[in-house]
Amino acid sequence: MTPTPSVLQVDDLGVDFVQGDRRTRAVDGVSFAVAPGQVLALVGESGCGKSATATALAGLLPVSAHVSGSIRLDDRELHGLGERELARLRGRDMSMIFQDPTSSLNPVLSVGRQVAEPLRRHAGLSRREARRRAVELIDEVGIADPVRRAREYPHQLSGGMCQRVMIAIAIACNPRVLVADEPTTALDATVQATILELLRRLVAERGMALLLITHDLGVVADVADRVIVMYAGRSVEQGAVAELFAHPRHPYTRALLGATPTPGDDKRARLAEIPGMVPALAGPARDCTFAARCRHAQADCRRLRPELAPAGRHEVSCLHPEGGR
């Protein structure tokens, strides 16, 4: 069987934030690919570099950030594109949704107008056509009474509805890739489940690729096909969700999984507590950055940088993975 060509291909992505003489290596050589209709989750504790990775893809990092590596969308290299080209691409080929929908929406414009906006800008629809299409999109994301809702303002909608509106805006121009950064963290558990179900359906129906950033392993188990476990800016383990959750090889993944959530388990399962903190690095790692918190660390872990390499049926970056190489 020939593998499905990926829509998004990221190679050796690096992000450094530079402020005066302070440098933070937020992303340290991350590589992955996402195929159409596939959900890839990025998971890890706070400060692991998940948002920096997502923001780098969309070209939305602040000027203090230095990006290296390659980001290819279909056959196009995005790294190095100017702000104008990136702005043209955002909302058309790649869209992003964030954690807090209420602060992402404009409070003084009706939601219909906000959904219509990318259709006018990117697809060149007339005001009337864009309004009509906006109502269809509001309906498609599961908001009842879409004609009336389109005339309302964000404060008249619940948090869950606002996130549905954000999704309608994001998918309006049928992007190839959707990047969702903690899209359900600010919502009630029951609303979370329906929003995730909506995202999953849209990915399947439209053949989009979804990059889903989350702290929540239960969400990963329920929604994602593949997962990257990040630690201190690096991918420590990545592969198919079912395989990786069934046979975690990296001590960090094993610690996170704690009471392992398997597909179908409690959706609110959170990362297990691991004593210690994620280090902020000034440059590329020279050793295993997890060694200081790892119960299985050996002398070489503090000297050598482990690289991502096949272990079983997925990849792990550990000198002494569970079960050996």
Ligand X SMILES: Nc1ncnc2c1ncn2[C@@H]1O[C@H](COP(=O)(O)OP(=O)(O)OP(=O)(O)O)[C@@H](O)[C@H]1O
Among 51, 110, 192, 235, binds ligand X (CB under 6 A): 51
Q: How many CB atoms are closer than 10 A to CB 240?
A: 14
In the complex, the smallest distance separating the C-beta of residue 212 from ligand X, rounded to whole angstroms, is 13
Of 137, 92, 89, the C-alpha closest to 113 is 137
DSSP-derived 3-state class of residue 6: coil
Nearer residue to ligand X within complex by CB, 51 or 110: 51
**Binding map of ligand X across residues 52-71, x = CB under 6 A, - = no contact:** x---------x-x-------
Q: What residue spans of the chain are helical by DSSP H? A: 50-57, 83-89, 101-104, 111-123, 127-140, 146-150, 159-171, 189-206, 217-223, 241-246, 251-257
CB of 264 to ligand X, least distance (A): 25
Q: Which of 7, 8, 13, 26 binds ligand X (CB under 6 A)?
A: 26
Q: Per-residue contact track with ligand X, 248 to 287, x per CB under 6 A?
A: --------------------------------x-------
Among 13, 30, 32, 49, binds ligand X (CB under 6 A): 49
Number of neighbours of residue 118 by Cβ within 10 angstroms: 23
> Residue 46, interface with ligand X (CB under 6 A)?
yes
Side-chain-side CA neighbours of 121 within 13 Å: the count stands at 16
In the complex, least distance from residue 74 CB atom to ligand X, rounded to whole angstroms: 25
Residues 6+ apart with CB under 8 A from 310: none
The CA distance from 289 to 162, in Å, is 39
Return the range that interacts with ligand X (CB under 6 A); candidates 39-47, 107-115, 262-270, 299-307.
Answer: 39-47
Considering the complex, what minimum distance in angstroms separates the CB of residue 280 from ligand X?
4
Token couple for 167: 């999704």
**Which residues of the chain form contacts with ligand X (CB under 6 A)?**
17, 24, 26, 44, 46-52, 62, 64, 280
